Chains A and B, each alone.
Chain A
Amino acid sequence: MTAPAATDLVAHTTRFCRVLRDEGLATTPGDTLDAARVLELVDLTDREDLRHALRGVLVHRVEDGPVFDRVFDSFWGGRPLPPSGWLQRNPPPTPPRRERAPVSLERWARGEVETEREEAQLPGPSELESLGGQDFHSYGDEALREVTRVARRIARRLATRPSRRWKPARGGARPHLRRTLRLSVKTGGEVSELAFRERKVRRTKLVVLADVSGSMDLYARLFLQFLFALQHSFARVETFVFATRLSRITDQLRARAYGDALAELSAEVRDWNGGTRIGASLERFGREWPRLVDGHTVVIVLSDGWETGDPEVLAEALSSIRRRAARVVWLNPLLGSPGYEPITRGMQAALPHIDVFAPAHDLASLGQLARHLAL
């Protein structure tokens, strides 16, 4: 490498940082500044030294390492660089869509209820006569109110979970020693007033990833109603739907009326009722919304596990989400049917990486959900 003049080098480094940003790294101007400072500290004629040094200041998580190395190699090594944003614009090929018009959403929006069962290969959960009565797919409109009630109950439970931390509180259950002593100072060390403390409320957050592919069609309508109600009674919930692509629908669900929410959704979510790429969708969720999941977050995946993509991708994505989340709950509507075994490849790949595997085929099972959500 011929050593260019110092200003050129700084400009070059700035460009390098910009390319990294284009490739999806969260490179800030502060990082660029650090990178420029680093140039003064290392031996520039040694490419590996430079790589380690720049990596130290520009890469903030191990997942970004390979991207950095690739850009570094082409940028400082003379190999041609793929056009910026290349990764994003060239996702792995998608399997062909199922030939099925995404009509049901619009029809629901107009108030038409789809009743016929089209998915002949589905294990029939309809024989079930359990606590909550009918299976979801046969529910009529009167059930919607019931779903809303269940969602409210869950929200209420989540909003009142005590945490391990304490806060001072009038009328708390336990004395707050430190405050009491502090108060006693004004009476010359005589304890005349007691201060109290109570537990803070645990700030549980929810992330819901709902499968709306063809095979989930029968359940999607009720789930959507459920998610809508949940969004309205519990502030800390983020909702995504996926079939072949992942879409964030939190904002749409915030619409005031359910009908409006549906109308907005049908306008924006295009792959409704397409095939299912659970792994790719979860992977994208982990990559693009990493900050939504933390130690106070319960991630709920609503899916029957019919994966048309690579089960390995699914396992990988799910385990990375689980590492960061407080809990991963997988709700499978098929689990409610007596003969069902989770033997699909997707479900098999997912099982080792979930904390709770529960049915979600009727109201009673949804009501049980609260138990799994309380951290």
Chain B
Amino acid sequence: MEGEGYVTDRAVATAVYLATSLGKPLLVEGHPGVGKTDIAKVLAKVLDGDLIRLQCYEGLDATTALYEWNYPKQLLHIKLDERSDRSVGQREADIFSEGFLLKRPLLQAITHHGRPPVLLIDEVDRADEEFEAFLLEVLSDFQVTIPEVGTLRAESRPAVVLTSNRSRDLSDALRRRCLYLWIDYPSLEKELRIVRTRVPGIGERLAAQLTSFMQSLRRQKLAKTPGVAESLDWAAALVALHATELDPALVQETMGCFLKDESDLRAVGARIEAGELAAMCSPAG
């Protein structure tokens, strides 16, 4: 995984290895911006398979996740076919064939040809429990029955990664079927490695200052604690500004890269005005 620019540790590596060897879905939980989604992306690269992504949201239901008949196309086909002398049975067989099926992510994953794909079910906590139950059914045997077509079974089981931000508790049934991985905010050393790997143009000194600063921010009580994704955004922004080290004015100007809440901006801004930047940038800070 390191080869694909994902800085990992043993817990992550072991979990991913086991998920692929046991053929079980991997449930990844953690704070926003710690690289949950990236696991699936990197896994797809490593396995050399396609990444199929299902973004969950409230109200997501089986038709948007699995399949839907292409009604306008069916209707048009019926109209066009009106004058032919084919029997009703034949016509019906026509319009309920796979060509009229709109494949949504789950069905795509099941009917995928070639190398097994990676199915990413992102932010599963945002979907509701009805959907979770439906998901369980699909994940347990990777087959789907479409009344008009028949049962479709996956040629090769996709590797499945589910991510959750813990905005609500997932059902025990779902948890039990998955391998579980909790990703915490990275340590200083790990974050430094991540920043250096993902933002190659960054200077040594700036990278060290930035990661120490972010680490100290995470110890502060904020409404939205910045994750690694924010560190990387900020690092990229600083590189674009040709910065080589942090100074109070620069931090004030670019704070919007990693603080996404007005009260946080004010709180951190006040700390910097009070001259705490140097302390926050030192590894112990």
Name the interface residues of B66-116: CB closer than 8 Å to any CB of A.
69, 71, 74-75, 78-79, 82, 88, 92, 95
Contact of A143 with B by CB under 8 A: no
Give Cα distance in the complex from A34 to B179, angstroms.
Answer: 10
Contacting pair B92 A185 (CB below 8 A): yes
Contact with B along A256-294 (1 / 0, CB 8 A): 000000000000000000000000000000000011011
* Neighbouring A residues of B59 by C-beta, 8 Å: 164-165
Tell me the minimal C-beta distance from A146 to chain B in angstroms. 36
A–B complex contacts, Cβ < 8 Å, 18 sampled = A48-B10, A55-B11, A56-B18, A57-B22, A59-B180, A60-B172, A60-B180, A61-B29, A61-B175, A62-B182, A164-B58, A177-B71, A178-B69, A189-B82, A294-B168, A294-B169, A295-B129, A324-B168
A323: chain B residues at CB < 8 Å are 166-169
Cα distance, A271 to B247, chains bound together (Å):
59
- Indicate whether A56 sits within 8 Å of B169 (C-beta atoms), given known contacts A37-B22, A295-B128: no
Chain B residues contacting A49 (CB-CB under 8 Å) are: 10, 14
Residue B17 is within 8 A (CB to CB) of chain A in the complex = yes
A residues within 8 A CB of B178?
A: 60
Given A41-B18, A49-B14, 11 further pairs, Cβ under 8 A = A49-B10, A52-B10, A52-B11, A52-B15, A56-B180, A57-B179, A61-B175, A65-B182, A181-B75, A295-B129, A323-B168
A322 to chain B, nearest CB (A): 11
Asked whether any CB of chain B lies closer than 8 Å to the CB of A113, the reply is: no
CA distance A49 to B10 in the complex (A): 7
Cβ of B178 to closest chain A Cβ, rounded Å: 8
Residues of A167-199 at the interface with B, using a CB-CB cut-off of 8 Å, are 177-178, 181, 184-185, 188-189
Q: Is A28 positioned at the interface, with any CB of B under 8 Å from its CB?
A: yes
Is residue A144 contacting chain B, with contact meaning CB distance below 8 A? no
A186 to chain B, nearest CB (A): 8
Q: How far is the CB of A156 from chain B (nearest CB, A)?
A: 24
- Overall SS of chain A's interface: helix
Seen from chain B, the residues whose Cβ lies within 8 Å of a Cβ on chain A are 10-11, 14-15, 17-19, 21-22, 24, 27, 29, 58-59, 61, 69, 71, 74-75, 78-79, 82, 88, 92, 95, 128-130, 166-169, 171-172, 175-176, 178-182
Could you tell me if B168 and A295 are in contact, using CB atoms closer than 8 angstroms? yes
Closest to B74 in A: A181
Please indicate which of the listed interface residues B59, B171, B182 has the most CB atoms of chain A within 10 Å of its own CB: B182
Interface presence of A31 (CB below 8 A): yes
What is the CA–CA distance of A152 and B180 in the complex, to the nearest angstrom? 43
CB distance from B133 to the nearest CB of A (A): 12
Q: Which of A30, A52, A294 contacts B176 (CB 8 A)?
A: A30
The answer to whether B180 touches A61 (Cβ under 8 A) is yes
CB distance from A17 to the nearest CB of B (A): 13
- Closest CB of chain B to A198's CB: distance in Å? 16
Contacts of A296 in B (CB 8 A): 128-129
B128 to chain A, nearest CB (A): 6
Whole-angstrom CA separation of A178 from B181 in the bound complex: 40
Q: Assuming the A-B contacts A56-B181, A164-B58, A181-B75, are A41 and B17 also in contact, with contact meaning beta carbons closer than 8 angstroms in the complex? A: yes
Residue numbers in A under 8 Å from B88 (CB-CB): 188
A38 within 8 A of B: yes
Q: How many residues of A contact B (CB 8 A)?
A: 38
Complex CA gap A295/B129 in Å reads 8
Binding site for B on A (CB under 8 A): 26, 28, 30-31, 34, 37-38, 41-42, 48-49, 52-53, 55-57, 59-62, 65, 164-165, 177-178, 181, 184-185, 188-189, 290-291, 293-296, 323-324
Does the CB pair B75–A189 fall under 8 Å?
Answer: yes
Q: Write out the residue numbers on chain A whose beta carbons fall within 8 Å of the beta carbon of B58.
A: 164
Q: Which residue of the partner chain, among B19, B71, B167, contacts A178 with CB atoms under 8 Å?
A: B71
Given contacts A34-B22, A38-B22, A56-B15, is CB(A189)–CB(B79) below 8 Å?
yes
A297 to B211 CA separation, bound complex (whole angstroms): 40
State the CA gap A164–B19 with chains docked (Å). Answer: 35
Taking CB atoms, residues of chain A closer than 8 Å to B11 are 52, 55
Contacting residues, chain B, for A295 (C-beta < 8 A)? 128-129, 168
Instruction: Find out whether the CB atom of A324 lies under 8 angstroms from the CB atom of B10.
Output: no
The closest CB in chain A to the CB of B128 belongs to A295
Q: In the bound complex, how far is the Cα of B124 from the Cα of A295, in angstroms?
A: 13
Assuming the contacts A48-B10, A188-B82, A189-B78, asked whether A290 and B22 have C-beta atoms less than 8 A apart, the reply is no
Q: In chain A, what residue has the closest Cβ to B9?
A: A52
Contacts of B10 in A (CB 8 A): 48-49, 52
Other-chain contact of B14, A52, A178, A189 (Cβ < 8 Å): A52
- Shortest C-beta distance, A370 to chain B (Å), equals 23
A28-B176, A31-B176, A188-B88 given as contacts; is B169 within 8 A of A324 (CB)?
yes
Question: Contact between B128 and A41 (Cβ–Cβ < 8 Å)?
Answer: no
Report which of A28, A56, A65, A293 forms a contact with B179, defined as CB distance below 8 A: A56
CA distance A189 to B92 in the complex (A): 11
Verify A41–B21 contact, CB threshold 8 A. Answer: yes
Partner of B78, one of A37, A48, A56, A185: A185
Chain A residues with CB under 8 A of B14: 42, 49, 52-53, 56
Complex: how many Å from CA A60 to CA B174? 9
| A165 near B18: Cβ-Cβ < 8 Å | no
Tell me the bound Cα distance from A54 to B180 in angstroms: 10
Q: Which 4 A-B pairs have the closest CB atoms?
A: A189-B78, A60-B175, A52-B14, A62-B182
* Chain B residues within 8 Å of A185, by CB: 78, 92, 95
B41 to chain A, nearest CB (A): 20
Closest to B21 in A: A41
A73 to B124, CA, bound (A): 32
B264 CB, min distance to chain A CBs, angstroms: 15
The residue of chain A having its C-beta at the shortest distance from the C-beta of B27 within the complex is A60
- List residues of chain A with CB within 8 A of the CB of B181: 56
Give the docked Cα–Cα distance between A324 and B128 (Å). Answer: 12
Q: CA A60 – CA B162 in complex, angstroms?
A: 13
Using known A-B contacts A181-B71, A181-B74, determine if residue A38 contacts B18 with beta carbons closer than 8 Å.
yes
B contact residues around A324 at 8 Å (CB): 168-169
| A26 and B172 contact, Cβ closer than 8 Å, known pairs A57-B18, A59-B180, A62-B182 | yes
